Amino acid sequence: MPKEARDALNSGVQKPVLITGGAGFIGSNLAHRLLSQGRHVVLLDNLSRAGVESNAEWLSEEFDARVRLVIGDTRDETLVRELVRGASSVFHFAAQVAVTTSLVDPVHDFDVNLRGTLNVLEALRTMDNPPPLLFTSTNKVYGSLSDVPLIEDATKYHPASESLRRTGIDEGRSLDFHSPYGCSKGASDQYVLDYARSFGLRATVFRMSCIYGPRQFGTEDQGWVAHFLVRAQAGESITIYGDGKQVRDILFVGDLIDAMLRADADMDRFAGRAFNMGGGPENTLSLIELLDLIAQLHGRSPSTRFAATRTGDQRYYVSNTSRFHALTGWTPKVGVRKGVELLNRWLSTNGVAERTRPLRTRNAQDVAI
């Protein structure tokens, strides 16, 4: 382990919060909130995702000695064990995040997502007094949802069932893993829940829908709201797979951080349970609706083309967040238009479209949601 990381773990009376994938979009936003509260944070990240170095630099410049970046990987069992043993809480975000990538290299997807998660769990299991763990899973654990009857209108799909349209998909939905990514994240999801049951870990799972906001470097494989905005700012074409009427509930990252900190502060009530986490029925968006919103923000419609639907794509997924709301009273505060405006402004102010242009080389017009 680098000396500065070891010093961070051993200095002072306050144990740091450990965030795996901590230089990423969600990790850096969570770190900023914790650091702003006076806490110490250790970021474990291999910096494999384009652009995340700037997130680590941003945190370091503002908070200096209270944040430490450990460049490493959750597949490193020894490193993970040492970092976990020095932590007050663990947020496990590090992952291979794209369905498309998992189809190209399923073994890598398995190693990063499942083996990496098992390393974190094993480090916790062998401790006398393990810290709480929050793991980020995905809506992909529910499969394609092809059995849900849908009604199609001019811009989007919505459920034929009025009650489902009002509430969204709840945690009682049967698991149905599609794609290697769905399998690796779904299996990790189940390992976390079982380690809570079998070994008494204070661990919970957030099955997340579409999260968006500042510090997000959206690509063709992951982060579709940011990706669309970046493409539009760069004046580049966007390819839509399917008819563009696919619907997701989107959740602004600040609202997600609120939920995460509520769970971490009272983990005994959340341990061994999974929660669907998204914007809910009040914050839904189809691809076509996002294109319309971008046209309003930019004064012009982005160039688009359409291609065949991707295998396993969910035409409709909206989170039912009532289980988490019942425990905490939490509800999203940032609506769709305000959140998209905030992200659009951050991307523009920070010149993300220009900085990421050389990085968009493989299937640069593709997008998966």
Neighbours of 282 (CB within 10 A): 13
Strands 284-286 and 247-252: antiparallel
Cβ burial of 10 (10 Å; 0-12, 13-18, 19+) is: exposed
Residues 104-113: contacts with CB under 8 Å, at least 24 apart: 106/180, 109/180, 109/181, 109/184, 110/180, 110/183, 110/184, 111/75, 112/73, 112/74, 112/75, 112/184, 113/181, 113/184, 113/185, 113/188
Among candidate residues 216, 282, 218, 227, the one with its CA nearest the CA of residue 249: 282
Q: How far apart are CA 305 and CA 242, in angstroms?
A: 10
Give the 3-state secondary structure of 5-49.
HHHHHHCCCCCCEEEECCCCHHHHHHHHHHHHCCCCEEEEECCCC
Name the residues annotated as catalytic. Answer: 181
